[in-house]
């Protein structure tokens, strides 16, 4: 496995304040997410997201999260944040995603994994339905949209899959390292996405928790690199 594949990318999601964007960047996040879903306690509108994106330095990616948004709303937000990656977290069909992105803009598709093992979910078929997605974001399926800080059983994931994955749902500085160690071998590459796990309150991030989360991710990367006898690049 290459050193690049062993480096876990990090997204801090649900940002609403400039100081939280700054804290994520300072800690070393690769991406920051803005929730354009009015029912979320972390909601910002597209104009506010565009303001917050102005805080980002080069090579830190903004991500706009939508839930069943009309196509015109997605396109209007893209006009305001033209360099954003899109994340579809609702019931969006492959055809919807294709139209929303014009078939060219990268996007993430959330796969909502049931907490109950009795509820079937075929992640490999889901991935095949969204071949144009840059990655699948793996989240817990709870009432409403978003994982609500819940961790789904990682054992429910297939033992081997060829696509890029983003692990989400209930991650914290305390459990993210275990998640990476358990889940990464199953996928082509793995990134992680955290929101409530680094918050002081809903929509308000805790800078210390963000730094702890990033440190825990890097520690997991080092553990996997040692076990694979790979030298990680400096970060």
Task: Look up 13 and say whether it is catalytic.
Answer: yes
Tell me if 231 sits within 8 A of 3, measured CB to CB: yes
CA distance 235 to 228: 19
Task: Look up 22 and say whether it is catalytic.
Answer: no
- The CA-atom distances, in angstroms, between 158 and each of 22, 97, 179, 184, 215 are 36, 24, 14, 11, 27
Burial of 25 (0-12, 13-18, 19+ CB in 10 A): middle
Helix (H) or strand (E) holding 21: helix 18-27
Counting every residue written for the chain, the total comes to: 235
Please tell me which residue in 20, 30, 139, 193 is annotated as part of the active site: 139
CA distance 33 to 66: 11
- The CA-atom distances, in angstroms, between 118 and each of 49, 91, 114, 153, 154 are 39, 21, 9, 12, 15
Neighbours of 80 (CB within 10 A): 16
φ, ψ of residue 85 to 5 degrees: the values are -85, 145
Bridging pattern class, strands 204-205 and 199-201: antiparallel
Please tell me which residue in 13, 55, 78, 97 is annotated as part of the active site: 13
Catalytic positions: 13, 139
């Amino acid at each position: 496995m290459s050193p690049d594949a062993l480096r876990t990318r990090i997204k801090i999601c649900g940002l609403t304040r400039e100081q939280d964007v700054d804290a994520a960047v300072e800690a070393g996040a690769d991406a920051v997410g803005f929730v354009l879903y009015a029912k979320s306690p972390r909601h910002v509108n597209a104009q506010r997201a565009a303001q917050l994106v102005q805080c980002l330095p080069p090579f830190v990616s903004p991500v706009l999260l939508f839930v069943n948004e009309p196509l015109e709303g997605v396109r209007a937000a893209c006009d305001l944040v033209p360099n954003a990656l899109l994340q579809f977290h609702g019931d969006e069909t492959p055809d919807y995603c294709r139209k929303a992105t014009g078939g060219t803009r990268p996007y993430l598709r959330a796969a909502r994994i049931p907490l109950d093992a009795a509820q079937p979910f075929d992640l490999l078929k889901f991935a095949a339905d969204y071949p144009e997605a840059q990655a699948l974001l793996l989240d817990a399926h709870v009432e409403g949209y978003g994982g609500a800080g819940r961790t789904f059983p990682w054992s429910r994931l297939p033992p081997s899959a060829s696509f890029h994955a983003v692990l989400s749902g209930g991650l914290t500085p305390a459990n993210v390292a275990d998640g990476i160690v358990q889940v990464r071998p199953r996928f082509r590459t793995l990134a992680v996405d955290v929101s409530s796990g680094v918050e002081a309150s809903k929509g308000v991030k805790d800078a210390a928790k963000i730094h702890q989360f990033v440190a825990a991710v890097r520690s997991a990367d080092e553990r996997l690199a040692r076990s694979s006898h790979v030298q990680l690049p400096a970060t």
